[in-house]
Amino acid sequence: MRSTREINRLLLGVLAGFAIVALAAAYWAIFGIDTILTREDNPRLFEAEAAILRGDIVDRADHLLATSTIGEDGSVSRNYEYPETSSALGYYSLRYGTGGAEAAYNSILRGDNRDFTTQLLHRPQVGTDIKLTLDLGIQQQIAQALNGRVGAVVVMGVPNGEILGLVSLPTYNPNTLDADWEMLIEAPGKPFFNRALQANYQPGGTLQTLLMAAALLNRQPLETVIENATDTVQLANVDVSCAVRLPEMALTLRDAYAFACPKPFEELAETLDREKIQDTFVTFQLNRPPSLEGFVPQPATGASVTSFPLITTDNLVENALGQGNLTVTPLQMAVMAAAIINDGNAPQPYTLAATRAAESDAWIPVEAIRPTIPYANANTARQLQDLMRSAVANGAAFNAARPNIDIGGHATIAYSGDETQAWFVGFATIAGRQAISVAVVLENSNDPGLAADIGGTVLAAAHEALRQN
Amino acid sequence: MTAITAPETNEKKSFLNVERILLLLAGVFLLVNFFALAFIRSGFGITDALQLVVWVVCAAAGQWWLERRLPRRDMLLFPIAMFLSGWGLLLINRLTQPFADRQTVWLVISVGVMMLVAGFPHPLRWLRNYRYILLMIGLVLLVGTIILGRNPSGFADAPQLWLGIGSVFFQPSEALKIILVAFLASYLAEQYPALRAEEMSGGRRFLNVSPRIYGPILLMWGMSVVILVWQRDLGTAILFFIVFLVLLYVASGSTFILASGAALILIAGVVAYKLFAVVELRVDIWLNPWPEADGRAFQIVQSLLAFAAGGIFGQGIGQGSPGYIPVTHSDFIFAAIAEEWGLLGIIVVITCIAVIVTRGLRIAISQRPQSFLSLLAAGLSMLIAVQSLMIMAGVLKVIPLTGVTLPFLSYGGSSLLISFIIIGLLLRLSASED
C-alpha cells in the first residue's frame, strides 16, 4: 500500500494539533494567572481567602482587639472583641472586603509576603499579627464620653505622633457586618465614613489659633482692648458669634481667643491682610492634610501653595473665620495641637507599632523615620500653648480642665449650612517632652463646653495611660 | 521510507525491559500521588488502597500475558495506557470517590478484554471476514440506542446514549467506533486499487470523482447526521466523520477528499447551528464565554480558570478546586489535571497520547504490505488522536466543546474498555502475526 506519505502527513497534522493544545494550555497557565484568575467570579479566590488565618490585632498594651478562629467546619471567622475599637479597626468580610486598619494593613494581616517554598509547598497561609498604637482604655473612655453622639475624636502622642485613640460615630458592629451590610450602607449617619480621618469639616473658630500665630509673628498687640469684641460677625450666609454667650463687652485679643469671639479676628485678618494670613495657613499645612499610613493616602508630591484654595481679598474674612472654602479633618487639628505642644514641630501620625510573624513570640517594632514638620518657631509655639492654657483656665474651654493635669485647649463653633459643629482642640503635658494632643468634633452641636468636657476626659485618660509606662 | 520499529526482544535475559521499566515508573508515580492524596485527606480507606492494588495486578498480569503471547509487540503502548488509566483512576477517586470503585471494575474488565484480544487467535482476520456481520451489529446497537437509549443520570433532558441492563450501562457508540473503523478499513482495503487508479488518471480528477469515493463519504456523513439528530451526540458524530475522512484520505491519497470533507463539516455545522439549540449554545459560548461566565458558559470558564489556577507546577493532588467544574471527572478531567499537576502534567498527558498515536501510525506504516491491517492501525490510532484532540482543545476553548471523553483518563467504562481494545488491537498489529 502506498500510503506512507499520507500517514506521515496525518502524523504531522496530529502532532501539530497536540502542539496547539499544549500552547493553549501554556497560555492560560502563564497569562491566565494575572487575567482570568483575578476575575471576581473565580470561586477559588473566595476559597483561598476563606482559608487564610488572618493575623491578630492587639493594642499598645497587648490587649487582643481582633482575632481569627477556625471553626469546627474548618472555616475561619474574624472576631472583634471591643465595640469601642470598631471605627478604628474597621472590618474584614469575605463578601465585602476590608475597612479601617483591616484594610490599611491587609497585606500584613493576610501574610502575603510568604516565601517561595511556603507557597510551593502549599503550607496554609497564616497572617502576621500587628500591634497598633491605639490604647484600648483610651478608646473606651472616648466611646463612653461621646455617649453615642455623632462626631469624632483623635488622640495623638507627642513627640512621636502615635495615634492613641481614634473614634468616629456612628459606627457598626464588624462581627455582624455581613448581615447588617444592606442596612448600614443605607444608614443616614454613614457609619462606614471615618469622620476622624476623612471628614472635611468647616474649621470655624479653630482657625483662631492660627490667626493668633500670625498675630504673634507679626507683633500684633494681644492686650489692647477691642470695643464690641463680642459682637456677632455677619457673613454672607451665616452669623458667627462667640463660643459662649457673653454680654456685649470689650475684650483683649487674648480674651477674645479664650472665648472664641470672632469679631476681633475679623479685624485682625483685615489688619494683617491676605498674604500674611495665607503664609501662616500654609506654614501650618492647612493645604496639606496629614497622611496616615494606610488610612489617608499621601498627598500628591509637589502639591503646594498653588493647590491651596487661595485666600483672596474677597473671601479673606470667611476663610480667616473658618467659614470659607477651606476645610479641615479632625486628624489635621490633632496634628496642629501636637505641633503647638511640641514647640512648633508637627509629629507625623502613625498607627502601626510592631508586627509579630506567624509562629513567633517576638514583636518586631516597625522602624520608620517620620521627621517632624516645622509649623512655628518654639517661641510662638510656647505663646500659643499659654493662650490655650488660659482658654481652659478662664475661657470657653473651661470644661476641659482636670485637677493636677496641665491642659490647654480651644473650644469653638463652626457653621455649615444650618448645622453647627462644636470643636475642641487641645493638649495635655505629661513629663519632659511627652504630651498628648486631641481633637474633638461634635456634629449638630452648638455646645463647645461639651466638646471641651469630652476633650478633658480623653486627655485625662490618655495622661493616665501614658504616665503608667 | 520509515524503518519498522522492531521491538527489542533480543535481551530476554534482563528482567527489566522497556515495558517493565515504564510500568514501574507509572507505579511509582501512582504510589507517590496516592500517599500525597492520603496525606491531604488525612488517611485512606481500604477501597482506595484496593484500587491501587488492582491496578498493580492488572499491570502485572497484562505484562506477563503480553510477554507470553506477543513477544514482538510494541513496548510503549501498554505501559502508557496503564499509566494514563491508573492516573485517571486516581483522579476519579480524588474527584468523585464513589465512582472510582466502578471504574476499577471496568479497568479489570478492560485489561482482561485487551488480554483476550491480544491472545485470541487471528482476531484481525476475524474482524475482516465478518465485517458485514459486525456492521449489522453496530447498526443494531445504534438503532437500539436510538429507541431504547437511556442516561444513567436519569435526567430526561440528558442525551440518551446508553443501553442499560440493571445498573450496568454501556455506550454503544463507543463499540461502534471500532466496528466502523474495522469495516471501513476492510472496505477501503478492497477499494484501494481502484481509488489509487483514479489518482493515477490525474488531470481533471477533481471534477470526475467516482461514486466509490463520494458514496461512502455521503453515507458516513448521513450516519453522523443521524447520530447528531437523534442522539444529540455532537462529539461522536464529528469523531466518526473525521476518522472516516482520514481513512479515505490514507487509502486514496487525495487531498481533495480532506477539503471536501472539511467543507461538509462546515456546512453541517452551520445547519446544525441554526437547527439545534445544543450546537448553537456550544458555538456561542466558544466564541465569547466571558459575559455568561455564571450562566451557560460556566463550565468552560471554570475549566479555563482551572488551567490558570494550576499554573506551571499545579496545586498538587487534592489541593486544587477542580470540583467547581461540572462533570469534571468525565469530559473535563483534562482541566482537573491542569489544576492539580499544572502545565507539566498537561504536557505529560499530551505527550503520552501523542506517543500512542505516533506508535499506532508507525504500526500502520510498518503494515503497508497488508492494506487492511495498515488502514486498521491508522484508523484506530486516529480514533484516539481525534477524540483526544477534540476534548483537549474543547476544554481549552480552542474549538467549540464537544462532549467526548479523554481516552484512558476520563470516567466511563465503555470508553475505557474500547480504548483498551484499541490498544490490544494495535499491540496485535505491532506483533504482525496475522
Crossing angle of helices B371-395 and B413-431, in 10° steps, is 140
The whole-angstrom distance between A24's CA and the closest CA on chain B is 7
What's the confidence (pLDDT) of residue B404? 87
Cβ of B244 under 8 Å from any chain A Cβ? no
Nearest of A182, A178, A135 to residue A154 by alpha carbon: A135
Find the closest chain B residue to A28 by CA distance. Answer: B308
Nearest CB to A28: which of B368, B393, B396? Answer: B396
Q: Which long-range contacts (CB under 8 A, 24 or more apart) does B252-259 make?
A: B252/B195, B252/B196, B252/B198, B252/B199, B252/B213, B253/A2, B253/A3, B253/A5, B253/A6, B253/B195, B253/B196, B253/B199, B254/B195, B254/B198, B254/B199, B254/B205, B254/B213, B256/B205, B256/B206, B256/B209, B257/B213, B257/B217
Contact B313, A120 (CB under 8 A): yes
Q: Tell me, what's the pLDDT at A304? A: 45
**Rounded to whole angstroms, how far apart are CA atoms A117 and B314?**
14
Q: What is the pLDDT of residue B287?
A: 87
Q: What is the mean pLDDT of residues A309-327?
A: 81
Among A2, A9, A10, A34, the residue to mutate for chain B (most B Cβ within 10 A): A10
Question: How far apart (Å, rounded) are the C-alpha atoms in residues B116 and B128?
Answer: 18
Rounded Cα–Cα distance for residues B122 and B153 (Å): 39
ipTM for the complex?
0.91
Find, in chain A, the residue whose alpha carbon is nearest to that of B325. Answer: A43
Q: Which residues of B touch A4 (CB under 8 A)?
A: 1-2, 365, 368
Evaluated on CA atoms A239, A243, A246, A252, the torsion sign reads negative
Lowest mean pLDDT among A251-265, A421-435, B259-273: B259-273
How high is the pLDDT of residue A232? 87
H helix or E strand, kind and range, residue B13: none
Closest-CA distance of chain A to residue B72, Å: 22
Residues in chain B closer than 8 A to A33 (CB atoms): 308, 311
CB < 8 Å to B385, chain A: 14, 17
Tracing cell 475684650 back to the chain, one arrives at A251
d(CA A148, CA B106): 70
- CA–CA separation, A277 and A324 (whole Å): 14
| A contact test, residue of B299, B350, B362, B367 with most A CBs within 10 A | B350
Q: What is the pLDDT of residue A38?
A: 78
**A83: Cβ contacts below 8 Å, ≥ 6 apart:** A143, A171, A173
What are the start-end ranges of the H helices in B204-327?
Answer: 211-231, 234-252, 255-275, 277-287, 298-310
- Report the distance separating Cα A232 and Cα A249, nearest Å: 12
Least CB-CB distance to B308: which of A17, A36, A122?
A: A36
Domain ranges of chain A: 138-171+190-351+371-467
Name the residue among A156, A177, A174 with its Cα closest to residue A165.
A156
**Separation CA A309–CA A303 (nearest Å):** 12
Cα distances (angstroms) measured from residue A3 to each of B74, B128, B210, B375, B433: 21, 20, 20, 9, 21
Q: Considering only alpha carbons, which residue of chain B is nearest residue A31? A: B308
- Position A32 scores a pLDDT of 84
C-beta atoms of A25 and B346 within 8 A: yes
Supply the pLDDT for residue A302.
Answer: 45
Q: What is the pLDDT of residue B223?
A: 73
Which pLDDT does position A365 carry in this prediction? 92
Residue type for position B115: M
> Residue A303: pLDDT band by 50, 70, 90 thresholds?
very low
How far away is chain B from the Cα of A128, in angstroms, using its nearest Cα?
A: 23
C-alpha cell at B216: 461512502
Task: Name the DSSP class of B150.
Answer: B
CA distance A411 to A247: 18
B39 interfacial to chain A (CB closer than 8 Å): no
Q: Is residue A311 a contact partner of residue A319, using CB atoms and an 8 Å limit?
A: yes
d(CA A48, nearest CA chain B) in Å: 10
SS3 of residue B401 by DSSP:
coil
Residue by residue, pLDDT tens for chain B (434 residues) are: 444 454 554 545 567 789 999 999 999 999 999 999 998 888 888 989 999 999 999 999 999 999 998 888 999 999 999 999 999 999 999 998 888 999 999 999 999 999 999 887 777 777 778 877 877 887 788 778 777 777 766 665 666 677 766 666 778 778 888 888 888 888 888 877 777 765 555 444 444 556 766 676 677 667 777 776 676 677 888 888 888 889 888 888 888 878 888 888 888 788 888 887 877 888 888 888 888 877 888 888 889 999 998 889 888 888 888 888 888 888 899 999 999 999 999 999 999 999 999 999 999 999 888 888 999 999 999 999 999 999 999 999 999 888 889 999 999 888 999 999 999 999 999 986 54
Closest CA to A242 of A122, A415, A88, A103: A415
CB contact under 8 A, A44 and B324: yes
Which residues neighbour A372 within 8 Å (Cβ) at sequence distance 6 or greater? Answer: A159, A161, A339, A342, A345, A346, A347, A348
A327 to chain B nearest CA, in Å? 44
Q: So what's the pLDDT on residue B155?
A: 61
Domain A138-171+190-351+371-467 is found in CATH 3.40.710.10 = yes
Cα–Cα distance measured from residue B154 to residue B151, given in angstroms and rounded to the nearest whole number: 5
Quick one: B284 exposed, middle or buried, by C-beta within 10 A (0-12, 13-18, 19+)? middle
Could you give the 3-state DSSP secondary structure of residue B275? helix
Contact B389 A21 (CB under 8 A): yes
For B132, other C-beta atoms within 10 Å of its C-beta total 11
Average pLDDT over every residue of A169-198: 88
Whole-number pLDDT of residue B226: 75
Q: Does residue A156 carry a pLDDT above 90?
A: yes
Give the range with max mean pLDDT: A154-163, A234-243, B188-197, B311-320. A154-163
Task: Give the whole-angstrom CA distance, residue B352 versus residue A44.
Answer: 29
pLDDT at A305 over 50: no
- The radius of gyration of chain A from alpha carbons, rounded to an integer in Å, stands at 28
Q: How many Å lie between the alpha carbon of A74 and the closest alpha carbon of chain B?
A: 13
Per-residue pLDDT at A120: 67
